[in-house]
Structures are given as structure tokens and as C-alpha cells.
Amino acid sequence: MKRTGAQIVWEMLRREGVEVVFGIPGGAIMHTYHPRKEYSIHHVLVRHEQCAAHAADGYARASGRVGVAIATSGPGATNLVTGVATAMMDSSPIVCITGQVATPVIGSDAFQETDITGITLPITKHNYLVTDVNDLADVIHEAFYIARSGRPGPVLIDLPKDVQQAETDFVPPEGELQLAGYHPVGAGDPLAVQQATTLINGAERPVILAGHGVLMSDAMDVLRSFAEKTKTPVTFTLLGKGGFPASHPLALGMMGMHGEAVANQAIQEADLLLAFGMRFDDRVTGKLERYAPKARKVHVDLDAVELNKIVPVDVAILGDLREVLEQLMPLVEPASHQEWLEQINLWRAETHARDVVNRPQNSRLLAPHFINAIWEATLGEAILVTDVGQHQMWAAQYYHLDRPHSLITSGGLGTMGFGLPAAIGAQVARPDKEVWAIVGDGGFQMTLQELATVIQEQLPLRIALCNNNYLGMVRQWQEFFYDRRYESTHLVNPDFVRLAEAYGIRGWRATNLEESCKAIAEARRHPGPTLIDFKTAQEGEEGNVYPMVPAGAALHEMIRRPVPRVEIESKQGGGDETHIDRPGRG
Ligand SMILES: Cc1cc2nc3c(=O)[nH]c(=O)nc-3n(C[C@H](O)[C@H](O)[C@H](O)COP(=O)(O)OP(=O)(O)OC[C@H]3O[C@@H](n4cnc5c(N)ncnc54)[C@H](O)[C@@H]3O)c2cc1C
Ligand SMILES: Cc1ncc(C[n+]2csc(CCOP(=O)(O)OP(=O)(O)O)c2C)c(N)n1
Ligand SMILES: [Mg+2]
């Protein structure tokens, strides 16, 4: 059956199960856009291509499927770059399709020509320049396979104009893909698994470091069984949140620079670290030379380059986490670790006493208070998408998750502007779910043109704007480490409520906790998209994220939130052997 390259694109997308794509058309990709309607794949017209990539990424993270972004050549393609790099750093499966100038003029500085496969080589898992229409169907099939298999990641397909126009006999690819040099791993080496078992069975103070790999390998249930059988407390990375229920007695909360103090203390005192599908990012380890100095270390990861890359380990297991945990389960012995869990409870009680949400509120609105209010109102059931900065850390600390795929955030690249477009992707993927975008006043202004996309798509998105009139995270560093000189971080902002209303989005402003709770309740009742402008404390103890491990410090050397002494004493010693209260931040 004769098909043009353009038709093959949609035919193949449909065969890969794609229902929606995000993009902006232009000269070099118009041929591909033209037959779209015949294939009943929905197209979300974004307002900037960066947001097409972020939306595809948010779609992928919320749905577990591959997200798709489309752009034209030249500036359309280069606009995708930040979104592609964001997906690469967080192992998110997206396929980007870009138009390219016709093959005879490639390399001649033709109109809107750019070498996008060259530019994205280091930030894609793989990319293709298709020069023959006969290769196109196989390339698309491969691209989806590579994006979602093994360690997921972005794949880019660059499609010259003449290849989109050319006709060929369409032969759908069939059978299992066998790609030379690409073999996603499964179970771990039995000898390494046995070595890990010996360490686990001999440990007195073990801690599990649960990462994004728990979610990607769908290992939530087996991780839970493992932790319960071995009575091992679990701390998670930012991207690992939801991989282990936050309300579980063994949950320690997030680790790292802005993690729970109790989690960081436990890591530094542990005699065994079990790193499951996480890559020891520097936000997680603090000063490497003094990281977990008393602990033997086991690392399970399916990407060989991650093993012994940052932290040298005693046992490295190359494998899919779920399969490795299933191998370990029958081998590990039940344990109680009573003393260790009692010690953890003491640390936890102190953290709890410092937590600002347990203190009486004052006239100023603190970001933790409104995020806690959203958590309480939504019973922790919403999908939360964040931007990057202080509000992102507070969202991670105060929106407790018992379910996977419910926090979508740019971790590795830390891309400001990610929040709104990724939330659009998440809401498109999960129309059944309540989706909240928690954004800062700085990052929101990097991509807020997408409010128009929200309206055009009629998405009932809830936007919570943490408005502190600062590039807050940078300002906090200036307060702590640069003599409080707020160099180029103060933001003079527009009236965000009127701005939202100009787009047709209902807006509220909240300046204290009471107004916040009222606005949250009204926004949740409103059937369309909403924005709440939360005017929060700007600096000092009320405007900073605690705890904080300063750059270059060891994990336990945290800047803590001050606490009244009497509260610590009254909380110490409580709790049964394994019961751990919901963590507090301080
Ligand atoms: C302002 C800011 C502050 C931050 N502060 C913190 C902080 O305090 N604490 C914190 O934790 N993070 C923090 N982060 C995030 C941090 O930068 C990293 O993004 C995060 O720690 C990475 O988590 P991860 O290693 O679990 O996930 P990823 O980076 O996604 O790595 C996942 C790992 O799992 C492996 N994997 C994937 N699939 C499988 C599988 N099937 N089986 C086995 N392994 C698999 C991958 O190969 C990879 O090594 C911060 C980010 C920002 C922007
Ligand atoms: C694209 C981009 N530019 C710059 C930075 C550096 N940066 C990290 S956090 C931050 C401040 C964010 O401010 P805002 O969005 O208001 O959030 P807040 O920290 O105030 O909650 C900046 C500038 C970044 N992460 N991404
Ligand atoms: Mg701000």
C-alpha cells in the first residue's frame, strides 16, 4: 500500500499506541501535519516548543507511556532542547519529531536549517536523521522501543521535508526488535545477589535509598515486602517519592540537601546502605568524602555506567530492580532492628518538633502552610507537578505521597519553566485526576504563555503560585552564604490574578492561611482551570527551606530550623519499636 512519509508518521504513531502529541507546526514539518486528522491522533497546540517537550515529558511521567513532541526545523527544533535535556536527566521516555530541510540542501545553511541531531546527540538516548522514506517505519518503531525500554529516555527523529513527501510501499515492522549493542538487562548476577544477601542478613543499622528506579521498574509492592520483612527504614530521593508510601511506619521521608533531617542522620549512621534505582546525585550525597562513612554499600541499577560512578560500593548489581528484589526476597532473613528503629524515632521526634506546620500560624503566610492545606484538602490523592526552586522543595516535603507517579518535577536538570507545561501534559494524560501545578513566581514567568494552551484544551488544571517576589532559592543562598546581598533576585511582578483572568482562568489571592484554605476549597469546586496567587513570606526563617545541607558539607551538617527546647524533650522516648510518626521538616 503506497504511503507518503507524512502518512507513515501518523500510521506508526497510531500503531505505537499514541493518542495525543504536543507541538507547533512550521514550514519544514507542514507536510507531516497535513494528514493528521485522518489518523484520529489529538494534537495539543502549545505556545513554545520547549513546552511541547515538557508537556510530552509530563504526559510520560503521569501515564507511564511514551510522550510525543513535534516541531519544525531550525528554531522550532532548538526550542525543544531544554525539554529534551530535562527528560534525559530524569530518564523520561519521549519521542521528538522535528522537520528538517530537504536532503539535497542539508549542510548549505538553508532557510531554518540547524543540525539538530548534532545538537541533541549528548542529550538524547538516541537520535536519527532519516534520509530514505523506506527506513521511516522501522526508525519510528525503534525509537519508541529505545525510549521506553531499559533506562528510559528521549529519542529524536529528524525528518527532511522531501522524506515526508516521498512515497513508498508501507510495510509495518513486525516481530521482536533485536538491536546490535543494545540489550536491556533483567535479573541480577546470582553471585552478586548472594553477596548482597550476606550483607543484608548481617546488618544492624540498614537503610534503603529508594530512587526513581523503583517507579520505573514498578517495584513498589516488592520493595514494601522487602522493607517489612527486613524491618529496614526507607528514605527516598526527590524522584523516588511515591515509590514507598510516605505514611508507612518505616518511611523516613526524602534524603539529601533539603531532605528530612532524620533521613540524613540515619544515612550517616547506617552500617548498610541499600541503594535501589538511584544514582547518588550530588543533591543526595553532600560531601562525598564523608558520605555514609560507617556503611557498607549495595547498589542495584540497570545502567552499568551508574555503578561505582559516584559512590564506590561493596556490591554492585546490574539488573532491573524489580527482578533483583524478587531474587533477594526468599534469601533475606526476617529481622527486627529494634534498637536502630528506636534511635530513628528519637531523631524523628526532634524533627517533628521543629516542623513549622506544627507551630501556631502568624499573620504572614508560609509556603509550607498552604502546601500542607492543599495536601489535606486533596487527601494526598492529586497529581502534583512542580516548577523549580523553594516551592519545589516545600512541595516535596509537605505533599506526602502514598502512590507512585504522583509527583512530577524536574530533578536532574532543575529546569525552571517546567511546571506549567508538564502539568498540562499530566492533565492530558490523566483527565480523571485532580492535577495541581505548584510554581514559583520566577519559573512561572518563563512559560506562562501556556495558560493559553490550558484554555484552548479546556483543562481543569489547578495552579498554585508561590509568590514570594523573589527568585527564592537563589535568594536563600544569598541570605545564607552571600552576606544577604540579594543581587538580581528581587522580582517586581504583575497582578497574577488579573493576568489569569485575562486568559479566562479564575483567580484568587491569599495572604494568610484562612484565605488560602478558602481559595483552595473554591478552586476545587470550580469546574474550569484556576490559579491561586499565594503571597508568601519573603525571607528569614519563614521564607527559607529547612533543613539545608550547605554545598561542600557532609549530609549530617544541616542548617536546621531553630526549635523551642521544651518541645523536643516532651516528644522524646514516645512511640513503639517500629512506629514512626509522619515526618516533620526542621
Ligand atoms: C532545587 C533542587 C533541589 C534538590 N534537592 C534534592 C534533595 O534534597 N534530595 C533529593 O533526593 N533530590 C534533590 N533534587 C533532585 C536531584 O537533583 C536528583 O534529580 C534526584 O536526586 C535523582 O533521583 P534518582 O537518582 O532517584 O532518579 P534518576 O536521576 O531518575 O535516576 C534513576 C536511577 O535509577 C536507575 N533505573 C532506572 N530504571 C531502573 C530499573 N528498572 N531498575 C533499576 N534501576 C533503574 C537509572 O539507571 C538511574 O541510575 C533536587 C533538585 C533540585 C532542582
Ligand atoms: C532555567 C533556569 N534558570 C535558572 C535557574 C537557577 N534557579 C534555580 S531556583 C531559582 C529561583 C526560582 O525562583 P522562583 O521560580 O520564584 O521559585 P522560588 O524559589 O521563589 O520558590 C533559579 C533562578 C534554573 N534552575 N533554571
Ligand atoms: Mg519566587
- Dist. CA 187 → ligand 1 center (Å): 22
Closest ligand 1 atom, residue 306 Cα: 49
Task: Determine the residue of 61, 226, 238, 471 to mutate for testing ligand 1's pocket, defined as the one with the most ligand atoms within 8 A of the Cβ atom.
Answer: 238
Catalytic residue among 12, 473, 548, 558: 473
- Provide the pLDDT for residue 354: 83
Cα–chain center distance at 374: 19
Q: Which residue in 527, 202, 193 sits closest to 333, CA to CA?
A: 202
- Cβ(513)–Cβ(551) below 8 Å: no
Closest ligand 2 atom, residue 476 Cα: 19
Alpha carbons 516 and 372: distance in angstroms, whole number: 11
Catalytic residue among 11, 22, 161, 269: 161
- Dist. CA 500 → ligand 3 center (Å): 18
- Dist. CA 85 → ligand 3 center (Å): 23
488 exposure class (CB count in 10 Å sphere: 0-12, 13-18, 19+): exposed
CB under 8 Å to 166, separation ≥6 — which residues?
4, 5, 133
Q: Which residue in 250, 294, 288, 237 sits closest to 268, CA to CA?
A: 294
- Dist. CA 419 → ligand 2 center (Å): 12
49 is catalytic: yes
Closest ligand 2 atom, residue 468 Cα: 20
Pairing of β 167-169 and β 2-4 = antiparallel
Phi-psi region of 129 (alpha: psi -120 to 50; beta: other; left: phi over 0): beta
Q: Within the chain, which residues score under 50 in pLDDT?
A: 564-583
Spell out which residues line ligand 1, taking CB within 6 angstroms.
90-91, 151, 211-213, 216-217, 237-240, 254-259, 277-279, 281, 283-284, 300-303, 306, 320-321, 388, 392-393, 411-412, 414, 473
- Provide the pLDDT for residue 563: 64
Side chain identity, residue 197 = T
Catalytic residue among 19, 112, 361, 539: 112
- Provide the pLDDT for residue 574: 36
3-state secondary structure at position 276: strand
Q: Is 440 in the pocket of ligand 2 (CB under 6 A)?
A: yes
Q: Where are the beta strands (DSSP E) in 186-340?
A: 206-210, 234-236, 251-254, 272-276, 296-301, 315-318
- Provide the pLDDT for residue 91: 98
Task: Determine the residue of 473, 493, 539 to mutate for testing ligand 2's pocket, defined as the one with the most ligand atoms within 8 A of the Cβ atom.
Answer: 473
CA distances from 393 to 48, 248, 390, 408 (A): 26, 21, 5, 12
**Model-level pTM?**
0.96
3-state secondary structure at position 578: coil
Q: Is 415 in the pocket of ligand 2 (CB under 6 A)?
A: yes
Side chain identity, residue 146 = I
- Provide the pLDDT for residue 362: 76
- Provide the pLDDT for residue 366: 95
- Dist. CA 474 → ligand 2 center (Å): 7
Question: Atom 11 in ligand 2: which residue has the minimum CA distance?
Answer: 471
Cα–chain center distance at 12: 28
- Dist. CA 472 → ligand 1 center (Å): 22
Task: Determine the residue of 284, 439, 556, 585 to mutate for testing ligand 1's pocket, defined as the one with the most ligand atoms within 8 A of the Cβ atom.
Answer: 284
Alpha carbons 124 and 141: distance in angstroms, whole number: 17
| 441-459 residues labelled b (16+ CB within 10 A) or e (exposed) | bbbbbbbbebbebbeebeb
Handedness of CA 390, 393, 399, 403 (dihedral sign): positive
402 exposure class (CB count in 10 Å sphere: 0-12, 13-18, 19+): middle
Q: Is 388 in the pocket of ligand 2 (CB under 6 A)?
A: yes
- Provide the pLDDT for residue 471: 98
- Dist. CA 414 → ligand 2 center (Å): 8
How many residues comprise the chain? 586
Alpha carbons 17 and 7: distance in angstroms, whole number: 16
